């Protein structure tokens, strides 16, 4: 393998452990291809996977015995898995999925951006569209147009956020993760 191929593998979460079966599905449960590009809900099955929660009667497995991890991922043709987002944070626009994490990572590449978060906001035609929320670095300035121009050509046109909101600070959980529930409430 070339150095680039090895780097691609190192950037994945890896191969499933012995005895664990993984698959990715769409919202309807249809299995998706392992092409390294198509992303869907990560589901796992195997003897080490919980079959139930303690003192909870609800079934946590699908009809085939798979557990939905709550992650969105891709699988390549060799079985290497890459987590791309949490299912609750994926933006579902016109029947397609947009990764909030990929948009956030791109936005923080702009030299004026200190931190970025992306949430889905209601859209009458597309169900949801991405809203980019940006905290600028101290002493820096940028406009909506500056940020979107920076992102243009680096993502699919339909992934482009419809708007950019500038904030003084982005809320975090106690463990340092972006508190997207607070942002969803703020930008309803």
Do 26 and 32 form a contact (C-beta atoms < 8 A)?
A: yes
Among 28, 57, 86, identify where a domain stops. Answer: 86
User: Of 144, 77, 52, whose CA–CA distance to 107 is shortest?
Assistant: 144
Q: Give residue-wise pLDDT tens across range 158-176.
A: 999 999 999 999 999 888 8
pTM, 2 dp:
0.70
pLDDT score of 96:
85
Query: The CATH number of the domain where 79 resides is what?
Result: 2.30.38.10
Among 86, 110, 132, identify where a domain stops. Answer: 86
Whether residues 109 and 177 share a domain: the answer is: yes
Whether residues 97 and 173 share a domain: the answer is: yes
Choice between 180 and 12, residue whose per-residue pLDDT is larger: 180
Whether residues 19 and 37 share a domain: the answer is: yes
CB neighbours of 38 closer than 8 A, spacing ≥ 6?
24, 32, 74
Residue 8 has pLDDT above 90, yes or no: no
Whether residues 49 and 108 share a domain: the answer is: no
Whether residues 69 and 108 share a domain: the answer is: no
Do 24 and 31 form a contact (C-beta atoms < 8 A)?
A: yes
Whether residues 37 and 117 share a domain: the answer is: no
- Number of structural domains, the chain? 2
Across 26-35, 87-96, 134-143, 148-157, least confident range: 87-96
Among 70, 86, 102, identify where a domain stops. Answer: 86
Q: Which domain holds residue 77?
A: 3-86
Choice between 148 and 83, residue whose per-residue pLDDT is larger: 148
Whether residues 118 and 82 share a domain: the answer is: no
- The percent of residues in the chain predicted with pLDDT above 90, rounded, is 59
Whether residues 134 and 152 share a domain: the answer is: yes
Q: Give residue-wise pLDDT tens across range 108-158.
A: 999 999 999 999 999 999 999 999 999 999 999 999 999 999 999 999 999
């Amino acid at each position: 393998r070339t150095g680039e191929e090895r780097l691609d593998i190192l950037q994945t979460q890896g191969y499933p452990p012995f005895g664990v079966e993984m698959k990715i599905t769409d919202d309807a449960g249809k299995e998706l291809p392992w092409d390294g590009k198509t992303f869907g809900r990560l589901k796992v099955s195997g003897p080490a996977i919980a079959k139930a929660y303690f003192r909870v009667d609800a079934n946590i497995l699908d009809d085939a015995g798979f557990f939905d991890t709550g992650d969105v991922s891709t699988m390549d043709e060799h079985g290497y898995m890459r987590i791309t987002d949490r299912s609750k944070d994926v933006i579902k626009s016109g029947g397609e999925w947009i990764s909030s994490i990929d948009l956030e990572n791109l936005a923080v590449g702009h030299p004026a951006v200190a931190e970025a978060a992306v949430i889905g906001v209601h859209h009458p035609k597309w169900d949801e569209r991405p809203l980019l929320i940006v905290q600028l670095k101290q002493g820096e300035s940028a406009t909506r147009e500056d940020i979107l121009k920076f992102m243009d050509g680096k993502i699919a046109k339909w992934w482009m956020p419809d708007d950019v909101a500038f904030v003084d600070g982005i809320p975090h959980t106690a463990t340092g993760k972006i508190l997207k529930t607070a942002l969803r409430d703020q930008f309803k």
